[in-house]
Structure 1
C-alpha cells in the first residue's frame, strides 16, 4: 500500500511532550505517535501530491486557528481515545479544504459534523482502552476543568509510509497573517 497523507494542526510543544510521555507510560504504539489535530484526513490526498498546490492556497488564505483542548473521551464506536478539541475556525478550514479538493469519496466523519480531536490511543488487540481511558481521566483532569487554549499559525502536511507506519510531519504551511 502507498503512503498516505493528512493535514493537521500541531499542539503546543509542552502538550505534545505530555501526550508522548503518557503514551510511553502506557506502551501505546500506533499511527498517532506524533500528536496532531487532523483538519483534513487522507481521503482525496493521493501519493502523487497533485493536491498540494491547491490546498496550500486554501491554507494561505485562512486565518490562524484558535484551539481549545479539553479532557479525554472515547469515540462511540470504541476505535480510539482522544482529547476533545474545539475550534469552529478549524472546522471552517476543514470544509474549505473539502470544497477545494472535491474528493470523489470521503470519510463519513468528514464534513460539517467533524469531531476535532487529539488522539491518545487507537484500538489495538493489545490495548485495554477502558483502562487507558481511566488513566487519561486522571492524567488530563486539569484539561477537563480548564481547557488549554492556543492558536495554530500553520498547518502541517503529515505522511505515513504505509500500514503499520506513523504519521510524521513533512512540511508546514503558514496560515494567513
Structure 2
C-alpha cells in the first residue's frame, strides 16, 4: 500500500486484515493509488450492480500475486524491508486490459514495479 506524505510523494506501507485468525485470508502485495485515482476506479466498478469487488479489495496495483504468501507471515518482514529500501518512483496508468471475462485492469507503465517484485 502507498501512503501520501506531506510533499505529495507516496511511500510504501504494509497492512494486514485486523483479525487474521478469523478469516480465510489470501495475501498479495499491492500498491494503492492516490485517493483521486481510487475514487475514479471505485466509481467505474460501481457501474455494475453485481460487482462486489469494492467490498473485497481496494483498488491497487498488484506487485506480487498470492502464491508463496503463507498465513505464517514468515515473508512479511522481508516485504517491509524491501519496501523501506525502495526509492519513490512514478508510474503511468494506461489502456484497460482483461483476464478473460472475470478481471479488467488498467495497464501500468513503469519498470519499477517489476524491480519491486
- What's the TM-score, normalizing by structure 2? 0.69
Any residues of structure 2 matched to 1:1-177 within 5 Å, and which? 2-27=24-49, 28-30=51-53, 33-75=57-99, 77-94=100-117
Q: Cα RMSD (Å) of the superposition?
A: 1.9
Q: Which ranges of 4 or more aligned residues in structure 1 deviate by more than 6 Å?
A: none
Runs of at least 5 residues in structure 1 that lack an aligned partner in the other structure:
95-177
Go from structure 1 to structure 2 and tell me whether the alpha carbon gap of 1:3 and 1:33 turns closer, same or farther (over 3 Å shift): closer
**CA positional deviation for 1:71:** 2.4
Q: Deviations over 1:138-176 (max 9, x none)?
A: xxxxxxxxxxxxxxxxxxxxxxxxxxxxxxxxxxxxxxx
Count of aligned pairs: 93
| In 2, Cα distance between equivalents of 1:79 and 1:24 | 15
Higher strand share: 1
Runs of at least 5 residues in structure 2 that lack an aligned partner in the other structure:
1-22
Answer with 1 or 2: which has the greater Rg: 1
